[in-house]
A = this chain, B = another copy of it.
Amino acid sequence: MANITRFFVFLSCFCFASRVGSASGNRNVLVIIGDDAGFEMQVYNNTVCKTPHLNSLASRSLTFTQAFTSVSSCSPSRSAILTGLPQHQNGMYGLHQGYHHFNSFDTVRSLPLLLNQSGIRTGIVGKKHVGPESVYPFEFAHTEENNHIMQVGRNITLIKLLVRKFLQQKDDRPFFLYIGFHDPHRCGHTNPQFGNFCEKFGNGEPGMGLIPDWTPVHYSPEEVVVPPFVQDTPAARSDLAAQYTTISRLDQGIGLILQELQAAGHDKDTLILYSSDNGIPFPNGRTNLYNSGMAEPLLLSSPLHTSRWGQTTDSFASLLDVVPTVLDWFGLEYPEYEIFGKNKLVKLTGKSLLPALKEEQSWNTVYASHDLHEVTMFYPMRIIRTGDYHLIQNLNFAMPFPIDQDFYLSPSFQDLLNRTRKGQPLHWFKTLKNYYYRPQWELYDLKSDPQETVNLADNSDYRDVLQELRSQLQAWQKVTYDPWICAPWGVLEDEGPYKDNPVCMSMDNGT
């Protein structure tokens, strides 16, 4: 059986390669992922944080107003971007580095793996943060694995030169180039000498080094736009101002990359996608799957689809759509295969976004799931976001929502802690106590309650809505073979007699 499967896969790859090669001229892909980047850009109506290069890209893009990550944590999100499978299905349940040590399953077929097999040249510059290598095998790779992440992720002059090197390689194959900026990730946790957002790294001041291509843009704390889910205090404003400066490095880096693409003559044949891995590293952002942690910027620019350039779309998109979109662009299909040889056939639940480049779509549902982030931070959540509704199941709800090492040290979180300790006003829409302790089910109607402050899960008027959403969410968990599908009150039986028909069995909760 395994041999038969392998045989068909071989055939498929052969066909795919032919199809890519036979297209009229090459079609290439450039994916750019910001690190903890959010909506601090003019494209998304932030009038203060200047992002001329993102503006320029947006003028040749369709801009998604309703795009979402499938998990608000770095490695899990990147694994989902590159495999099209949610973290609970590809095995990257938490962070990849150090003692967190999560890895995708050996049998997962990622985008670089499939593209390599289909005659497409693959490259990565910057933050990779996923593994194992055999699952994510980029041919051209300059990442934290063979460089310092500060250099390949934040030194935009170096990034420019690496992109140039990739584009100038004499190779007739189409290419897929993935740029993982480390900007605008926080810095205080590992390299505080460069500022809270590494906003001083390479600015030319003594001891900061110099990035020749970067002209830092500075902001005053008074002028920044405080997102509604962050407290409006001097500490948080100052933190945001540092983030904005780092965003200027990201934006100028994107400008350099687009210039390299043009100089190499590939601006007319390359699909460009810009997004981020997860929410911004502020309260209610990263590691949360509230709208504030889940919504992402998404620009999709195709030189072959110009009719909607400069427009926005309210069609829902998920980062799980990246793989289907890239495969569609290359005319490739996703192979069906078993991850564990247990009749668990992998199928992508995402969709190609290319149709939206031609006309508005009615997409209005996405899903998300989170398990760990740091290995100690067990806080599984399962989410459906459909229309105006947002349903969250917190599986470990009786314990406090965990705080990560990086965010804990941030000025914004320290400010909340200090104000709480001193009994001072938080100027925030929550208290730390209700941030830590969450009910098992949360249901929000974003139309009337965009900040998600009124939980409707126990409101009898919404009983049918809740029931319907739970049922849709469970169907997604089923089709993605979610190991947590029975948690927290049940045990999943999916081996032996239950191999072909997994069931949830009740623990009876001891009552």
Contacts and interface: CB of A to CB of B under 8 A. Distances in A.
Interface of A: 91, 93, 98-99, 101, 103, 105, 188-192, 340, 374-376, 378, 380, 396, 398-400, 403-405, 408-409, 417, 420-421, 431-437, 481, 483-484, 487-489, 491-497, 505, 507-511
A396 B99 CA distance: 19
Copy count, this protein chain:
2
Contact of A99 (B105, B192, B488, B489): B105
User: Main SS of the interface on chain A?
Assistant: loop
B421 A508 contact: yes
Contacts of A400: 488-489, 507, 509-510
A158 B505 CA distance: 37
Given A399-B399, A507-B436, A492 B405 contact: yes
B505 A408 contact: yes
B510 A405 contact: no
Contact of A378 (B378, B398, B408, B510): B378
Nearest to A89: B99
Contact of A511 (B101, B192, B433): B433
Leading 10 A-B pairs by shortest Cβ distance: A433-B510, A398-B398, A378-B378, A432-B510, A436-B510, A408-B491, A190-B496, A99-B483, A398-B399, A190-B495
Contacts of A188: 496
B105 A417 contact: no
A481 to B, nearest CB: 8
A509 B190 contact: no
B98 A340 contact: yes
Contact of A508 (B98, B417, B509): B417
A193 to B, nearest CB: 9
Contacts of A421: 508
